Amino acid sequence: MAAITASMVAELRAKTDAPMMECKKALTEADGDTAKAEEILRVKLGTKAGKVASRVAAEGAIAIHIAGDTGAMVEVNCETDFVTKNDMFLALTQAAARLSAEHNPADVAALATLAYSQDGYGPTLEDVRKGLIGKIGENMSLRRFVRKSGGGRLTSYLHGTRIGVLVEYTGDEAAARDVAMHVAAMKPVALASADVPADLIERERSVAIAKADEDRKAAESAGKKPQPEDIVAKRIEGSVQKFLKEAALLNQPFVKNDKQTVEQMLKEKNTTIKSFALYVVGEGIDKKADDFASEVAALTKG
């Protein structure tokens, strides 16, 4: 049996919003496997356990640079929200987006070596980053970027500096920008159902199967007759299809008119979305547990 630590419980709680004792129980049942524990919580607690915590794991800013049919979006991280409003930090972030678009670096390491000077620091983007760390007194990192070029026209949407969307399209610019805003609000994981990663689909199916099994056991415990297997199979498939509808951009109800899907709106506007990229500041970065660390530690010892 794997040891269940305070940090494991805190991490699972941050991912699921589930109560700490439930997180500990799930981790114990999953023998320390966090991914499996998350699925157990989703089966027991419902969709709440699949919700990402509202507090992001890290601070930072997103910037987008578009020139013609070439554009790039970057995320640069820092330690506090205060620094995200610093003009020097924002200039660094915008420069990283411009350099990504102009030079098509292979990765973040290559991006850091590109020529750039700012606030007396240089001659590379990395040198400026290091210089600003010393000047501002807070760590910063070039986390990621995405670049699109030659596949169509580009538009974008920034919600402040915390959510960014870059959209590649043909057709009506206003419709494409509406889609960019929709993506920022609804956060689809893929363009169409066929593009949703197979591992995510299988994960949803396994959760639905486990939930159906829980319902069967509950019915038997109550002396009731479980649902027929064909009905259960339809419920499971219905859960998967619901997930695909929620996860695929084209299937989602359009935020400006929920009587039609995004796909229907685009057809009306004679517009095609070829691809999109969505960045949310701090997404996927582990956040240090602090406020409830001692409480978690007490629970894990108990």
**Same domain (yes/no): 76, 119:** yes
**Same domain (yes/no): 6, 101:** no
Instruction: Please give the full DSSP string across 6-49, using - where no structure is assigned.
Output: HHHHHHHHHHH---HHHHHHHHHHTTT-HHHHHHHHHHHHGGGG
Instruction: State the Cα–Cα distance between residues 60 and 87, nearest whole angstrom.
Output: 13
Q: What is the structure's pLDDT at 136?
A: 84
**Same domain (yes/no): 21, 70:** no
**Same domain (yes/no): 127, 156:** yes
Q: What is the structure's pLDDT at 46?
A: 54
Residue 4 belongs to domain spanning: 1-55+287-302
**Same domain (yes/no): 76, 134:** yes
Q: What is the structure's pLDDT at 297?
A: 52
User: Number of folded domains in the chain?
Assistant: 2
**Same domain (yes/no): 81, 141:** yes
Burial class (CB within 10 angstroms; exposed 0-12, middle 13-18, buried 19+) of 164? buried
**Same domain (yes/no): 92, 16:** no
Domain boundary among 124, 144, 162: 162
Give me the CATH number covering residue 115: 3.30.479.20
**Same domain (yes/no): 47, 63:** no
**Same domain (yes/no): 93, 119:** yes
**Same domain (yes/no): 156, 67:** yes
Regions of the chain where pLDDT drops below 50: 47-57, 289-293, 295, 300
Domain boundary among 162, 178, 205: 162
Give me the CATH number covering residue 50: 1.10.8.10
Q: What is the structure's pLDDT at 106?
A: 97
Q: How many angstroms from the chain centroid is the CA of residue 219?
A: 37
DSSP for residue 282: T
Could you report the per-residue pLDDT of 253-272, keeping only the tens digit for each? 999 999 999 999 999 999 99
Q: What is the structure's pLDDT at 3?
A: 84
**Same domain (yes/no): 23, 78:** no
Q: What is the structure's pLDDT at 60?
A: 94
Domain boundary among 119, 139, 162: 162
Whether 233 maps to a domain, the answer reads no
Residue that the structure tokens 């007759």 belong to: 225
Q: What is the structure's pLDDT at 294?
A: 52
Q: What is the structure's pLDDT at 133?
A: 84
Whether 239 maps to a domain, the answer reads no
